[in-house]
Amino acid sequence: MSSKLFVLGYSYYEEYVPYFLHGPEDVTQEEFKALCDSLLEEAGYRAVANADDSWVGWQQVVESLIPLLEQQGYQRFEPVENIYWGPGIIDEHDYNELSLLKSSQSKIIEFNKEIHDKLYKDIG
């Protein structure tokens, strides 16, 4: 049985939370969205029914939507992730992971310092 990967998520300002699902190969993006939209009302009711003493927001609605999608044959999965985190690379002492860049680290820092100097030379 072949399957397609789908992402269901919610977002609020900088926060973005994706949920990953396997689904039927022949389902299009539009069909997946239409199915999700058609299940939102029931997901909203479930979110309220399962609520504790906090607000019900899109997180709770989306999490309530997942079991409804599972009833339609979708299966949730957790992909293996490898994430590098941090701001712009300006100083070799910023983050431990920079050492993984090996010799390219100094070139990146040199390049970024030149950009920084160009951007801020007139502000001075």
Q: Kindly write down the DSSP assignment for every residue of 25-86, as one continuous string.
A: TT--HHHHHHHHHHHHHHHHHHHHHT--SS---HHHHHHHHHHHHHHTT-EEE---------
Report yes or no: 79 and 22 within 8 Å, Cβ to Cβ. no
- Three-state DSSP at 89 gives coil
Domain encompassing residue 100: 85-124
Say if residue 97 is in the same domain as residue 52. no
Structure-block tokens of residue 71: 């009833």
pLDDT per position as a tens digit, 4-47 = 999 999 998 878 899 999 999 999 999 999 999 999 999 999 99
Q: What is the pTM of this model?
A: 0.70
Same domain, residue pair 91 and 64: no
Is 33 in the same domain as 71? yes
**What is the bridge-based pairing of β-strands 75-77 and 3-12?**
unpaired
Number of domains within the chain: 2
Q: How far is it, in rounded angstroms, from Cα 66 to Cα 43?
A: 9
Q: Judge if 8 and 66 occupy the same domain.
A: yes
Same domain, 93 and 57: no
93 and 122 share a domain? yes
pLDDT in tens, 86-108: 766 766 665 667 778 888 888 88
30 and 66 together in one domain? yes
